[in-house]
Structure 1
Amino acid sequence: MSSIVIDHVSADGTTLESDVRTSADLERFFTDESFRTDYDVSIADVPEGVRAIPVLAQVCPVAWANGADVYVDEVDATFASALEDVKETLCSMHDFLEGGTLYAKRTIDADPDAGGESGLLFTGGVDSTCSYVRHRDESPTLISIRGWTITPDPADDDDWNALRSRVSSFAADHDLETAFLESNMLSFLAHPMLLAHYKRHVDGAWYSSVGHGLGLLGLCAPMAYARGIEDLYVAATHWEGIDLEWGSRPDIDDNIRWAGTQCHHDGHELTRQERLDVIADYVRDEEPTLELQTCNVRMDGNCGECEKCYRTAVGLRLAGLEPTAHGYLFVDEDYHEIRTALEEGRWVLGQDERYMWDDIRERARETEPTSDAEAAFFEWLDAADLGDLVSDSSPPLSHRLLRAGARNAPAPVYNTVYPAWTSAKSGLRRVRPGR
């Protein structure tokens, strides 16, 4: 029988560690690293059943993909119930997921001190800034996580330091607290092997398409318990009417809960352009110098030349703001550059971007252009076939052959060869979520 066993969950001050054992058929999906997460608050007094949540949040989707059962010594009863709800959603969304059962020697009804606090996963992008504006009366703790788009690799130190500095500055300016978490959740999992087995079933990667809603929120559990955070918000990327297989959705995130904390998928009723409208109203009423950070290329500001920078700048224009006042160097001549880049396929675009450009197009149809260049671009966009701008989501044959062979290859061999091969072959492009 396929199984995953959480051997122990230990807390040493601010550091959480756990070892995992698996049945032989699942060994390939895990590396030899212990699971580890570092917090900036002591978790020594957090019950073991709550400390188990971060590792369970990472391994359960892998178990469900293989019909495996998961065993743990102790788990918070509220979270155990939440896992059943999340499993139901993920299994209905991905037909390759088979499900499985969580077995615990003990379930506990933890009784945290009622803190009445709230928290928000925050990067300073459009989505998370909109969520801050919507919930600013709660003075949410701003939570930033290193481990997904910014990895624990020393090569990402500059990006992490830039994010920490920016979020800390924003928090200081708005009289807010911060929480910074660092985890090896993706290097603890054998992510290349997960891609080899499941990439053909999902539109994106494993974590974005399956694991990140449960995974990122679950990482926060010990910290939220220690800080008395009762409401934990994660900003929506998509909105009503977008039917994409994405690991963070209302029917996932709104079901995630543990003793003392309820999670919320925030802003799903708003399109990206409507979120920019919320920000624009806030800028005009309260903070005229607010800057956003959405760049796909750098973390210490916006490059102003990538697809996401241009898209955000156009959205700001449509919301009645001048992009140059909010972090984006943008002039009318850039409209021609955007059109040319889209027509020539310079940017690798997926279904996400198609929906977002369509959202911009809908707003442009009801907006009076402010210049001839803007009018010309909006006229072109109105007639453009956005489907033609989306890249073929099928990986190259060489990638497919490598992954097919990997399903039967020794896991250590594949986990070593695949990242080096793809980096040399195609120069993998990092895409940051819109939060």
Structure 2
Amino acid sequence: MSSIAIDRLETDGSTIECEIRPSADLERFFTGEPFRINYDCAIEDVPDGVLAIPVLANVCPVAWANGADVYVDEVDATFARALEDVKASLLGMYDFLEGGTLYAKRTIDAEPASGAAAADGSDSALLFTGGVDSTCSYVRHRDESPTLVSIRGWTIAPDDSGAEDWRHLRERVSSFAAERDLETAFVETNALEALDHAMLLAHYKRFVDGAWYSSVGHGLGLLGLCAPMAAARGIEDLYVAATHWDGIDLEWGSRPDIDEYVRWTGTECHHDAYDLTRQERLDVIADYVESEAPGLELQTCNARMDGNCGACEKCYRTAVGLRLSGLEPTAHGYPFAEDDYAEIRRALEGGEWVLGQDERYMWADIRDRIREADPEPESPREQAFFEWLLQADLEALVDEAEPPLSHRLFRAGARNAPTPVYNAAYPVLTTAKNGLDRIRGR
């Protein structure tokens, strides 16, 4: 019987570490490295049932993909019930998921944090990067003065290669928070090092539009990472900004029917701004810029964390969206010139960017704004781009962005290789992952 056991869960001040012990048939999906997570607050008084949430939130989707049961000593009762709801949503979304059962020696109803831990700061928190979605959610909930939570271990690597990116993100978020008298919380984990994300991608990429974590695991996984911190700080409401919006029915790892179910004793999670398209979120930000934050800069780049490159698909897409919301991109972090419109068209038509269905919807959202608002172009180049986009076949542009055949064959080989052979080839697979596993941050 396929199974995954969570063993030797230990805490040391602000750090959690535990062992993940899979049955032999599931070993290829784990590296053998202990699961670790570090907080910037003490968690020693947090109940074991809540301390187990981060690893369970990241391991259980892997178990469900293989019909495996998960074993743990203790779990928060509220979270155990939440897992059943999230599992039902994911199984309804993906045919390849099989399900499984969580077995705990003890299921506890923990006492919510109270007293000084909750009194020192806000009782709400928001996962925050400084991008369009999380900035819009901050604007919507700024009256709550939410604690801004940033996580290292997904888009920013937990090893030395991610150190500079993490420093840039911390500095940017800390500055944003200080200007608004907000608290911050910084979380670091090796979750996607303990899970063999390269093998998960190789095995399941054929079933999903993005990568494993973006398509399956990240709503539950990222929110679950916050549980001990939320318990220690007395956080009652935890917000995660929506990537998509009502009317987009895409298979994605963070949706209302996942995130809204995630909860544990004392904390409820919320999938925020699902009622707004990306362009409408930029409108919210534009109103905030006009009324309160004229110098606001966004950070959305897929290529760097110390500013926006201005040349990747996401930078261009955000710059055009800012223009349509009445903001000048160069005033808010995006180098942009009229000549860039021709470059955007050339790159889209030439299939230079690997696009998923969500990018298609986002460019369609921009096209809808052009069609509905009929904005006055600022230049002949802008007018020519608008006219092209109104007629472009966006579905065909996505179809032309299929990853190379060599990458697809490599993934197929990894799926079918015996575990010892795969382990020997792991460095090569990891290198390939860097090129084809683009974990999308919207």
Shorter-chain TM-score tier: over 0.9
In structure 1, give the amino acid aligned to 2:264. W
Q: CA deviation at 1:380?
A: 1.0
**Is the partner of 1:362 in helix, strand or coil?**
helix
Aligned ranges 1:152-231 → 2 under 5 Å = 152-231=158-237
Q: Which amino acid aligns with 2:217?
A: G
**Which residue number corresponds to residue 96 of structure 1?**
96
Instruction: Name the residue aligned to 1:300.
Output: 306
Matches within 5 A, 1:365-380: 365=371, 366=373, 367-380=375-388
Alignment-mate amino acid for residue 178 of structure 1? T
Q: What is the CA-CA distance between 1:432 and the residue it aligns to?
A: 4.3
Count of aligned pairs: 434
The Cα shift of 1:369 comes to 2.0
Q: CA deviation at 1:424?
A: 6.3
Q: Any idea what SS the aligned residue of 1:229 has?
A: coil
Closer, same or farther in 2 for the Cα pair 1:426/1:190, shift >3 Å? closer
Q: Partners in 2 of 1:104 and 1:79 — Cα distance?
A: 12
Query: Structure 1 stretch 132-141 or stretch 387-396: which is displaced more?
Result: 387-396
Is the 2:219–2:258 Cα contact (8 Å) retained in structure 1? Answer: yes
Alpha-carbon distance in 1 for matches of 2:124, 2:153: 22
2:318 — aligned with what?
A: 312
Ranges in structure 2 where 5+ consecutive residues have no aligned partner: none
TM-fit CA distance, 1:26: 1.3
TM-superposed deviation, 1:394: 5.1
Separation in 2 of the partners of 1:181 and 1:426?
A: 23
The CA deviation string for residues 356-413 of structure 1, in whole angstroms up to 9 with x for no partner, is: 1110011012223233222121111111111121145654443333333333423354
* Aligned ranges 1:80-159 → 2 under 5 Å: 80-114=80-114, 115=118, 117-159=123-165
Asked whether 1:328 is paired with 2:334, we answer: yes
- Counterpart of 2:411 (choices 403, 406, 410) is 403
Name the CA distance, whole Å, in 2 between partners of 1:401 and 1:346. Answer: 21
Change (3 A) 1:108 1:236: same
**Deviation per residue, 1:225-247 (Å, 9 max, x gap):** 00001000000011111121110
Query: Counterpart in 2 of 1:46?
Result: 46
How far 1:415 moved relative to its partner? 4.5
Note the C-alpha offset of 1:414.
1.9
Q: Could you tell which deviates more after superposition, 215-224 or 422-431? A: 422-431
1:298 corresponds to which letter in structure 2? R
Matched, 1:233 2:233: no
Q: Distance in 1 between matches of 2:409 and 2:388?
A: 39
Q: Contact between 2:242 and 2:272, CA under 8 Å: does it hold in 1?
A: yes
Paired position in structure 1 for 2:74: 74
Measured after TM superposition, the shift of residue 156 of structure 1 is 1.3
**Could you list the per-position Cα deviations for residues 262-308 of structure 1 after superposition, in whole angstroms to 9, with x for gaps in the alignment?**
00010111100000000001111111111100111110011111111
> 2:266 matched to 1:260?
yes
Distance 1:378 1:395, change over 3 A: closer
Is the contact made by 2:20 and 2:32 (CA closer than 8 Å) also made in structure 1? no
How far, CA to CA, are the matches of 1:144 and 1:392 in structure 2? 34
Aligned: 1:246 with 2:255: no
What runs of 5+ residues in structure 1 fail to find an aligned partner?
none
Match of 1:370, SS state, is coil
Instruction: Quote the Cα distance in structure 2 between the aligned partners of 1:397 and 1:372.
Output: 39
Structure 1 residue 348: deviation in Å? 2.1
d(CA) in 2 for partners of 1:113, 1:35: 25
Paired AA for residue 381 in structure 2? A
SS of 1:198's partner is helix
Give the TM-score normalised by structure 2: 0.94
SS at match of 2:236: strand
Say yes or no: does 1:5 pair with 2:9.
no
Alpha-carbon distance change, 240 to 407 in structure 1, aligned in 2, over 3 angstroms:
same
Shift of 1:421: 4.8
The 1:267/1:415 distance shift into structure 2, 3 A limit, reads: farther
Match of 2:56 in 1: 56
Residue-by-residue CA offset, 1:155-204 (whole Å, 9 max, x unaligned): 11111111111011111111111111110101101112212221111111
C-alpha distance in 1 between matches for 2:213 and 2:328? 35
- In the alignment, residue 43 of structure 1 is paired with which amino acid? I
Identity %, equivalent residues: 75
What per-residue deviation string (whole Å, max 9, x for no partner) do you get for residues 319-371 of structure 1?
01111111112222222222222222222222121111110011012223233
Q: Kindly report the root-mean-square deviation, in angstroms, between the aligned alpha carbons of the 2 structures.
A: 1.7
Q: Which amino acid aligns with 1:89?
A: S
Do the aligned partners of 2:133 and 2:242 also contact (CA within 8 Å) in 1? Answer: yes
Please, which of 324, 348, 354 is the counterpart of residue 354 of structure 2? 348
Distance in 2, Cα, partners of 1:336 & 1:394: 23
Task: Measure the CA separation in 2 of the matches of 1:406 and 1:54.
Answer: 28
- Judging changes above 3 Å, is the alpha-carbon distance between structure 1 residues 92 and 165 closer, same or farther for their aligned structure 2 residues? same
Using the size of structure 1 for normalisation, the TM-score is 0.96
